[in-house]
A and B are shown apart, each in its own frame.
Chain A
Amino acid sequence: MALDAILKPINRLGRGTASALAELGYAGAILVESVYFALVGWRHGQPVRPAAIVEQMRQVGIDAIPIVLLLSFTVGLMLGIQFVSAFSEFNAESQVVMAVAKSVTREFGALITGILVAGRSGSAFAARIGSMNVSQEVDALYVIGIEPVRYLAAPALVAMLVMLPTLTVLANTAAIVGAALYCAPVLEVSPVVYIIQTLHALEMRDIWEGLSKSVVFAVIITLVGISTGFGVTGGAEGVGRATTRAVVLSITLLVVADMVFSFFLNR
């Protein structure tokens, strides 16, 4: 019995590790297959249709623009308020421009967009594919001769890889405008001058840091959503669980990936 008490947690740890590795491998396989179908699928009768990509781009990108703008504008404003109050303690208000510009482009633009899209589209991928799985629509795709990864995953991945960086650029802009509206009066300059100062403070690598993160976020959100969806079992309840899991897991991975990126890019 004492042996049992030791063995059980080890057993559970082993199983947990094995299933996590299996999931990672599955997600990796979806990534490889999606890229394969997107590049050479048309040669093997499995083309990724531009119309499907455009439709996905609308759903994950265009439809998300208002909420991304609103949220990042608000976060920009908030950063402005915090930086002004922090820097004014040692009379360094002029540094606010630099602080806002770098933190938004390197960090917050990509992160806010990522979290938002994970909530909107990561869950939608999981729910859509999950319910298709439950109602045998995925099987139907197979027997019609349509590879589900080509039809469901590849367009989503391509759309996310285009739209997430695009949304991130929009988010950066909105956040800086938001900061400008609060900070410019404090710094006694016009908002336009504030934005020009921001552009001077920024280097290309700040923008690239944010954009390269957003590319990684796009891959994480898509793969987590889609692999969770394909793994759904247990009817409608399973679809609900998968949706929750997709959002929680992708936001967690996103934040961890962000931290790792920031660590290596800022050494």
Chain B
Amino acid sequence: MDAEPVIDVQRLNVWFGKRHILHDVDFRVMPGEIRVIMGGSGSGKSTLLRHLLGLLKPRSGSVRILGTDIAAASSAEVLRLRRQMGVSFQGGALFTSMTVGENVALPLREHTDLDENTVRIMSRLKLEVVNLGGFQDLMPSQLSGGMVKRAALARAIVMDPKLLFFDEPSAGLDPVVSAELDELILQLRDAMRMSIIVVTHELESAFKIADTITVLDRGHILMTGPVAAVRASDNERIQDLLNRRPRKVEVDTDEYLRRLTEAEVD
């Protein structure tokens, strides 16, 4: 493919205090691709996502989104980027003081000069897309878990972004609703030609929607490749993940003793 990558992360290293969270992460997503970032808890996938969203700035390595280096961008450039990105957070993160309709309309109200009628029609259209037509006047607290996720998705796509991020779409949802959400993600890519990044630990959903999968484990990228290649991988950690095997804990005796006896520092 000769197109520019929409996301280009190079040699990203992240430390929280003494803990090395991400090790030399290289991560590239091409236009129109659905990329799933997979990994267990504590694998660093949320930290990687926060860097992709520009919520954390890289101290070492570079993160380029749609060709713009996040760390070096001016606030005007970041604002321009934000208008082309949509994010659906794990818990939805709908603004609880606003109705569903106002939530979806907020990006339009903030970033465009469209008149009130157009804003209303456009936000209702997006609610229809996620099968929430007619729910615009409810408050987020009146929605079920699956509806909150779909409303959050409607808000994420209301500006027709080039890049859509989805954090744990199936967390806390029953299998049927989560399968519907997967369908929705596929439809969105086909209808709107977005590049979509999904962070999940649900294997089934990952295999269904992904073009390519990046497997993250304890801050290292184990592999990036098409679904079939990941399934066929002979890497032991990947097979552990795929087959739900508990990981083998190797005990480093010196390290273990040091942790037990170490004086308090923080």
Report if A and B associate in a common complex: yes
If the complex has contacts A44-B76, A140-B87, A140-B89, are A145 and B111 also in contact, measured as CB distance less than 8 A? yes
> A121-150, CB under 8 A of B: which get 1 and which 0?
000000000011001110110111110000
Residues in B with CB closer than 8 Å to A45 are: 76, 79, 111
Question: Is A44 in contact with B75, judged by CB distance below 8 angstroms?
Answer: yes
Q: Give the interface SS of chain A, mostly helix, strand, loop or mixed.
A: helix
B106: CB under 8 A from chain A?
yes
Question: Is B110 in contact with A143, judged by CB distance below 8 angstroms?
Answer: no
Residues in A with CB closer than 8 Å to B110 are: 144-146
* Interface-centre pick from B54, B76, B83, B95 (highest chain A CB count, 10 A): B95
Question: Is A139 in contact with B111, judged by CB distance below 8 angstroms?
Answer: no
If the complex has contacts A44-B75, A45-B79, A139-B55, are A145 and B107 also in contact, measured as CB distance less than 8 A? yes
Looking at the assembled complex, report how far the CB atom of A175 sits from the nearest CB atom of chain B, in whole angstroms.
Answer: 35
CA A131 to CA B106, docked complex, whole Å: 19
CA A221 to CA B154, docked complex, whole Å: 37
Question: Is B107 in contact with A142, judged by CB distance below 8 angstroms?
Answer: no
B-side interface residues, number (CB < 8 Å): 23
Contact of B53 (CB < 8 Å), options: A46, A132, A143, A146: A143
If the complex has contacts A144-B106, A145-B110, are A136 and B89 also in contact, measured as CB distance less than 8 A? yes
The A-B contact count (CB < 8 A) is: 53
Residues in B with CB closer than 8 Å to A44 are: 75-76, 79
Looking at the assembled complex, report how far the CB atom of A1 sits from the nearest CB atom of chain B, in whole angstroms.
Answer: 12
Question: Is B79 in contact with A145, judged by CB distance below 8 angstroms?
Answer: yes
Select from chain B the residue with minimum beta-carbon distance to A4.
B263
B143: CB under 8 A from chain A?
no
Residues in A with CB closer than 8 Å to B91 are: 135-136
Select from chain B the residue with minimum beta-carbon distance to A143.
B87
B85: CB under 8 A from chain A?
yes
> B111-148, CB under 8 A of A: which get 1 and which 0?
10000000000000000000000000000000000000
If the complex has contacts A135-B96, A137-B96, are A143 and B82 also in contact, measured as CB distance less than 8 A? yes
B228: CB under 8 A from chain A?
no
Residues in B with CB closer than 8 Å to A144 are: 82, 106-107, 110, 155
Q: Which residues of B contact A (CB under 8 A)?
A: 53-55, 75-76, 78-79, 82-83, 85, 87, 89-91, 93-96, 106-107, 110-111, 155
Q: Which residues of A contact B (CB under 8 A)?
A: 44-46, 131-132, 135-137, 139-140, 142-146
Known contacts A140-B87, A140-B93; 5 further A-B pairs (Cβ under 8 A) = A135-B91, A136-B90, A139-B55, A140-B95, A145-B78
Q: List 13 A-B contacts (CB under 8 A).
A: A45-B79, A46-B79, A131-B96, A132-B95, A136-B89, A136-B93, A137-B96, A143-B53, A143-B87, A144-B155, A145-B83, A145-B107, A145-B110
